[in-house]
Amino acid sequence: MRTFAEFQIIGHVGKVRMVGPTLRVDVAADYGRKDDKGQFQSNPYWNEVTLFNDRVIAWAKDSLKPGDLVHARGTLRQTRWEKDRQTFYGVTLAADDFDLLAPKAPAAS
């Protein structure tokens, strides 16, 4: 039996930056809800997605803009490192698929 850990995010692009040979894209998924008065309250949660494929990195650097709606899917990788005799843990969201769903909507005038 094959086992795996997978993620999927549909959200809006924030920062895009190179870190070594990888491209890191912050993607906000909004877990909004209605408040006591019935008004929608935004509750964005930022996720850092890592791109490893050179062709996808080149496309993303040239095409993505903050606010664009994207779909990211890939594998979860827990990381662990030690510094000053302390153990730290993190999670890498390694994208296998990364697509632009819609460019940022123009501001209403």
Report mean pLDDT in 10-residue bins for the chain, 109 residues.
91 97 96 87 93 96 96 95 95 96 83
Domains of the chain: 6-102 (2.40.50.140)
DSSP-derived pairing of the beta strands 33-34 and 40-41: antiparallel
Q: How far apart are CA 67 and CA 64, in angstroms?
A: 9
pLDDT confidence of residue 3: 86
pLDDT confidence of residue 105: 81
pLDDT confidence of residue 58: 96
pLDDT confidence of residue 1: 86
pLDDT confidence of residue 35: 87
pLDDT confidence of residue 67: 95
pLDDT confidence of residue 80: 95
pLDDT confidence of residue 32: 82
pLDDT confidence of residue 34: 86
pLDDT confidence of residue 109: 67
Helix (H, G, I), strand (E, B) or coil at 54: helix
